[in-house]
Structure 1
Amino acid sequence: MKQSIIVSVDIVLFTLSQSTLKIVLLRRDQEPYAQQLALPGGYLHPAEDRDALAAAERVLREKTGIVSPYLEQLFTFSGGVRDPRGWSVSITYYALVHESLIAPSAGHRFELLAIDALPDLPFDHNRIVAHAVQRLRDKSSYSALPCHLLPPLFTLTELQQTYEHILGTTLDKSVFRRKLPDLDFLEAVPDAIRQGKHRPAQLYRLRPNKQLAIFDKTM
């Protein structure tokens, strides 16, 4: 008897909320694991999806109402024991958004949980999350990836804090600031100043052609 293989996409959607790295989880509405929290995921639609990336974009949009500015393939998880329905393949992705986009709307109910306070998730979703967190931290140490967790305009202090929250370490301010001109992935926004408690702060944005700038040296 020929066995059908289940093929799906699952997305680890990261954001920073209250200075904590968190992910979006949805409560499943059907078996298996009905009513349990899980990653946003769904089947590939061969007649509709041009490729796995298109499927991930569609699933993320349909399940959360969110379109992420950054979505990257993570890994492929497969096997005969990860899904009680049978042998399955999950093409996984991770995405980053600013927390202002995480606003549940009608038909999109989800929860935002810190990565170090997750419950036991169904399938192998804890393993997928762990893999995504490691990829995010590794890649953030040598690229502009953390910028996608920020609003369109941000200060250099906010940028440094975002790197620190992801990497879990404190960066020397003077060293961080000295590196930025050489990295060339930011541009100052003319006449964009934020008034602060002490002195006004220049606002910056990620250059359009530098969505994932790679550094020669780690942060």
Structure 2
Amino acid sequence: MNRTAGAHPSVLVSVDTVVFTLRDGALQLLLLRRAQQPFQGVWALPGGYVHADEDADAKASALRVLKDKLGNSGAYLEQLATFSGPARDPRGWSVAIAYCALLPWEQVPQRADVQLLPVEALGTLPFDHRAIVDVALARVRNKSQYSSLPVHLCGPHFTLPQLQQVYEYLLGEPLNKVSFRRKMDEMALLEPVPGALHSGGAHRPAQLYRVRAPYKQELALSVRGL
């Protein structure tokens, strides 16, 4: 283990981001092919070291990682947990501050070093990334029961049936239409897009909605679960 001039052991400090998106009706995990050792060429979570000279805090580090590695600066982001110990990284004793990010499919970069995998088909991952993903998955599914979290997987405009479908994908069960819309009203999350309608083929055009400004990076909560 490396030591500083004061003989204290140095600790590696990084951030890892679990990025989820929805594609083909399934929750998918975004992975990046590692460009360097350890685990060079292996698919892993987007992550990087904390830059003490430029990052105001750990969240700023995670936002920088998403911008540098995915070209995205607008994803919903929340802190998950801290993972640490001597065995999680072959380079030495390390601390990783993990974050969960939700990204609409349209914002996922289409590159050879980016891969999407359905969460139900995940195998082993390097470091302790599988344990981090498991924590993130439990968080997303739990908070989908009582908060506006799933809306951050939608694009800027969507119909209420489209939003309900996103909730159903995450919860794994159908929802009552009337109850769902009552919950959306309770949370005061949405506002109609003036003059914007979605043509649904055989169905009559449906009103398009967007997230109200206070909740673009925050969550609205429901008193009761869905």
TM range (shorter): over 0.9
Instruction: Determine if the alignment matches structure 1 residue 177 to structure 2 residue 181.
Output: yes
Find the counterpart in structure 1 of residue 93 from structure 2: 87
Instruction: Determine if the alignment matches structure 1 residue 189 to structure 2 residue 193.
Output: yes
| TM-score, structure 2 as length reference | 0.92
CA distance in 2, matches of 1:193, 1:162: 19
Find the counterpart in structure 1 of residue 48 from structure 2: 42
SS in 2 for 1:200: strand
Residues 106-159 of structure 1 show CA distances to partners (whole Å, capped at 9, x for unaligned) of xx7211111111121000000000000101111111111111100111000011
How far the C-alpha of 1:184 sits from its partner, in A, is: 1.3
Query: Mind listing any 5+ residue stretches in structure 2 that lack a counterpart?
Result: 1-6
Which of 183, 189, 202 in structure 1 is aligned with 2:207? 202
**Alignment check: 8 A CA contact 1:68 1:95 kept:** no
Which of 6, 18, 21 in structure 1 is aligned with 2:12? 6
CA distance in 2, matches of 1:68, 1:11: 14
How far the C-alpha of 1:185 sits from its partner, in A, is: 0.9
Which of 182, 207, 212 in structure 1 is aligned with 2:219? 212
Q: Which amino acid aligns with 2:123?
A: P
CA distance in 2, matches of 1:152, 1:3: 47
How far the C-alpha of 1:177 sits from its partner, in A, is: 2.3
After the TM superposition, which residues 85-124 of structure 1 pair with which residues of structure 2 at under 5 Å, given as runs? 85-104=91-110, 109-124=113-128
Query: Mind listing any 5+ residue stretches in structure 1 that lack a counterpart?
Result: none
Which of 44, 59, 65 in structure 2 is aligned with 1:59? 65
**Alignment check: 8 A CA contact 2:183 2:222 kept:** no
How far the C-alpha of 1:182 sits from its partner, in A, is: 2.4
Find the counterpart in structure 2 of residue 144 from structure 1: 148
How far the C-alpha of 1:13 sits from its partner, in A, is: 0.7
CA distance in 2, matches of 1:181, 1:43: 41
| TM-score, structure 1 as length reference | 0.95
Q: Which amino acid aligns with 2:200?
A: G
Q: Which amino acid aligns with 1:174?
A: V
Q: How many corresponding residue pairs?
A: 217
Find the counterpart in structure 1 of residue 31 from structure 2: 25
The CA RMSD measured in Å over matched residues stands at: 1.3
Runs (4 or more) in structure 1 with deviation over 4 Å come to none
